[in-house]
Chains A and B, each alone.
Chain A
Amino acid sequence: TQLLEQSPQFLSIQEGENLTVYCNSSSVFSSLQWYRQEPGEGPVLLVTVVTGGEVKKLKRLTFQFGDARKDSSLHITAAQPGDTGLYLCAGRGNSGYALNFGKGTSLLVTP
């Protein structure tokens, strides 16, 4: 099993602030995905990154895949209460089919 560590575990910020959450591993991943999960619901796919050094933007969210494809970050600009949720990263190794998940960063954005 290829472990993914996410930090911070919890984050509480005010509306309008910027934040970055991290997803790190000692293993190389062929692709990495970010999901957001709201209480009582399943994770919703936000983005998939596949190329080392790749940067993808989704409105106020910026995702980066590390050059060595072992880590990733998610940056949110001007956070809004609607961004509240559990952010999960998941990676698929070079040889396996299984998707390995980090334990997530729980984000709370207050008005």
Chain B
Amino acid sequence: KAGVTQTPRYLIKTRGQQVTLSCSPISGHRSVSWYQQTPGQGLQFLFEYFSETQRNKGNFPGRFSGRQFSNSRSEMNVSTLELGDSALYLCASSLSLLYEQYFGPGTRLTVT
């Protein structure tokens, strides 16, 4: 069974731009969570989707948003990028809410 895939793997953007990251979960998994990982803060929860609905949200500004499609694929969007948004963005999928999460390789975003 294929694992979680994330595209793109690397991205360089300029401050003020916006970016969209994509995540394809493991086949059969219906829940997708997004995390931001930085050296200083570690892994921080952004949001979780199940059945195309956001079920839980972390403490991030409204510039961070996401959505989930009917095939469980998910995208997250960051608008008006700031230098501090440079991070590894990780997507994790699970069969359903509260189940074990399996991570993708991440998207490395660099904001200049």
Where the two chains meet, the residues of A that have a C-beta atom closer than 8 Å to any C-beta of B are 1, 33, 35, 40-45, 48, 88, 90, 92, 96-104
13 further A-B contacts with Cβ under 8 Å, apart from A42-B103, A45-B103, A98-B58, are A1-B59, A40-B106, A41-B106, A43-B90, A44-B103, A45-B102, A48-B100, A92-B98, A97-B48, A97-B97, A99-B45, A101-B35, A104-B42
Q: CB of B63 within 8 A of chain A?
A: no
Most chain A CB inside 10 Å of its own CB: which residue of B41, B58, B98? B98
21 contacting pairs across A/B (C-beta < 8 A): A1-B59, A33-B100, A35-B103, A41-B105, A41-B106, A42-B104, A43-B90, A45-B103, A88-B42, A92-B98, A97-B56, A98-B45, A98-B58, A99-B45, A99-B101, A100-B45, A101-B35, A101-B43, A101-B45, A102-B42, A103-B42
* B22 → chain A closest CB, angstroms: 15
Measured between beta carbons, the chain B residues less than 8 angstroms from A43 are 43, 90, 103
Where the two chains meet, the residues of B that have a C-beta atom closer than 8 Å to any C-beta of A are 4, 33, 35, 41-45, 48, 55-56, 58-59, 90, 92, 97-98, 100-106, 108
Is there an interface contact between B106 and A45, defined as CB atoms closer than 8 Å? no
A1 to B90, CA, bound (A): 19
Most chain A CB inside 10 Å of its own CB: which residue of B58, B90, B100? B100
A1 to B106, CA, bound (A): 23
Question: By DSSP majority rule, is chain B's interface helix, strand, loop, or mixed?
Answer: strand
Is there an interface contact between B43 and A88, defined as CB atoms closer than 8 Å? yes
* B4 → chain A closest CB, angstroms: 7
Is there an interface contact between A42 and B106, defined as CB atoms closer than 8 Å? yes
A48 to B1, CA, bound (A): 21
A35 to B106, CA, bound (A): 15
Most chain B CB inside 10 Å of its own CB: which residue of A1, A33, A88, A98? A98
Measured between beta carbons, the chain B residues less than 8 angstroms from A101 are 35, 42-45
Measured between beta carbons, the chain A residues less than 8 angstroms from B55 are 97
Residue of A nearest to B42 (CB): A103
* A1 → chain B closest CB, angstroms: 7
From A35, A40, A88, A97, give the contact of B98 (CB < 8 A).
Answer: A97
